[in-house]
Structure 1
Amino acid sequence: MSRATQLAEIQNRITAACHKAGRPGSAVKLLAVSKTFPLSDILEFYSCGQTAFGENYLQEALDKITQLADHPNAQTMNANLEWHFIGPIQSNKTKPIAENFSWVHSVDRLKIAQRLSDQRPENLPPLNVLVQINTSGEDSKSGLSPALAIDLCHQIHGMKNMALRGLMTIPSNTDNTDQLKSEFLECKSVFDSLNSNGLSLDTLSMGMSADLELAIECGSSCVRVGSALFGARDYSK
């Protein structure tokens, strides 16, 4: 299957889910999760019109960004590409994240937010930030409880060089639709509460390859799709 066909299939799934939920197809953004895949795959999807790519592993992402600098059309592509960092953030990694990414989906500590703000170059637009909520309650997952996430959002709001855009969550790894829906709706409830209390948030990052339709039903405005676009990952490399 061609990259264009794979991309069209995901976009059709998003459009159909939006229609079913009574939402315009333009209400949901596709983030192509390109972790473990080479720059060549990213360039194939870029040539089909996909511009937003998500990376979990910092060094791997920086290698791709460096490789892109040698591309003949690097200047145009850098102007169009959005690099999203979606993995856990260590405090010693904030500077390269602040310098090289347009979006960060996984902020869950005030210290991390402050470092990203302080280290964002003045010549770049504000860093778009999402606060990660741990709706599943699993210790193995990053993210904050809803109450702590609300506090962190208010602390980030107005930080220099930062644009607080919304929330992100990774639900339980389960086929239980009711449980997934409950977790998605919990995140949506926090999102709505923050907007009712003075914050103007526009991004709710929920849903992946297997559950994007349910996430869209629950209000997601950004779905993070990896395997359904790129194929199965080989973590042994």
Structure 2
Amino acid sequence: MSGDDPRRVELAERLAAVEQRVARACEDAGRDRSQVTLVVVTKFFPAADVRLLAGLGVRDVGESRVQEALAKAQEDALAPWPAPAGERLTTHFIGQVQTNKAAAVVGWADLIHSVDRPKLVRALDRAAQAAGTVQGVLLQVDLEDGADAGRGGVRPADLPALAELTAGSEGLDLAGLMAVAPRGADPDAAFARLAELAAEVRASYPGAVVVSAGMSGDLEDAVRHGATHLRVGSAILGARPGVR
């Protein structure tokens, strides 16, 4: 595809701007840029955009709807990418997972960010064992403590039990925590709380080092409080197209 393709140029400019923000946030926090993974959230955008992003060096992409992710995979947009040195796209599922979709998500995602209840842990564990794999998962924490159940997440008080169940599951690898800052609240305070919870989980499960936090509007706060993965969509891809 021509380097002058308007969409490619737009994505390149937006990606560069976000990369500058991340680099500056890391510098301000005294962290190395290599400690933070940028996950480009491609939900609702076409497979063509995923291919353009891969050509621009993006290696981590996120989706939140199972059918859309599978459709893009069938177009090879989210299949292992024939990049230099054997690199491939790492796929992240960031949306709520229905238990009856567990097998499909396990078959697609390298890392599932949104595990928030025992029933889902058991469904993903069964699916992973049936597939002969170990599925990486993050536990989504509800930083609003039940005030907005529609966004998902385990309440902090119930986190230790869910972590214990997940860590004891043969087919799952407890990789860490994920959270979304509450609407209208100070993201700095929210991510400070997430950092505390992440430290508590790591004390019992040292391998749970991932902290998935921060999006287009609050990534600097997330980096300051130790986020290892940022989930950025609109700042890179632009306004979300009409949902089909």
**How far did residue 124 of structure 1 move?**
6.2
For the pair 1:107 / 2:115, whether they are aligned, the reply is yes
CA RMSD, Structure 1 to Structure 2 (Å) = 2.1
Distance in 2 of aligned mates of 1:54 and 1:148:
26
Cα distance in 2, alignment partners of residues 221 and 74 from structure 1: 23
Decide which moves more: 73-82 or 52-61: 73-82
Q: Deviations over 1:21-59 (max 9, x none)?
A: 011111110000000000100000100110111101111
Give the CA deviation at 1:121. Answer: 6.0
Separation of aligned partners in 2, 1:151 and 1:36: 34
Letter in 1 for 2:241: D
Cα-to-partner distance string for 1:166-197 (whole Å, 9 max, x where unaligned): 000011122x5xx2212111111011011123
Q: Say if 2:81 and 2:89, in contact at 8 Å, map to a contact too.
A: no
- Alpha-carbon spacing, 1:181–1:76, altered in 2? closer, same or farther (3 Å): same
Higher mean displacement: 16-25 or 137-146: 137-146
Q: Given that residues 18 and 236 in structure 2 are in contact (C-alpha distance below 8 angstroms), is that contact kept between their aligned partners in structure 1? A: yes
Matched to 1:157, the amino acid is A
Question: Unaligned stretches of 5+ in structure 1?
Answer: none
In 2 relative to 1, CA 129–236 (structure 1 residues): closer, same or farther, beyond 3 Å? Answer: closer
Letter in 1 for 2:46: P
Partner of 1:56: 64
194, 203, 215: which is aligned to 2:201?
194
Q: Does 1:81 align with 2:89?
A: yes
Residues 32 and 224 of structure 1 are in contact (CA less than 8 Å); yes or no, is this contact kept in structure 2? Answer: yes
Structure 1-normalised TM-score? Answer: 0.90
Q: How many residues align?
A: 232
Does the CA contact (< 8 Å) of 1:98 and 1:121 recur in 2? no
Deviation at 1:132, TM superposition (A): 0.3
**1:14 equivalent among 17, 22, 46:** 22
Matched position secondary structure for 2:199: helix
CA displacement at 1:16 relative to structure 2: 0.7
Deviation >4 Å, runs of 4+: 121-125
Contact 1:129–1:162, Cα closer than 8 Å, also in 2: yes
Partner of 1:222: 229
User: Which secondary structure does the structure 2 equivalent of 1:120 belong to?
Assistant: helix
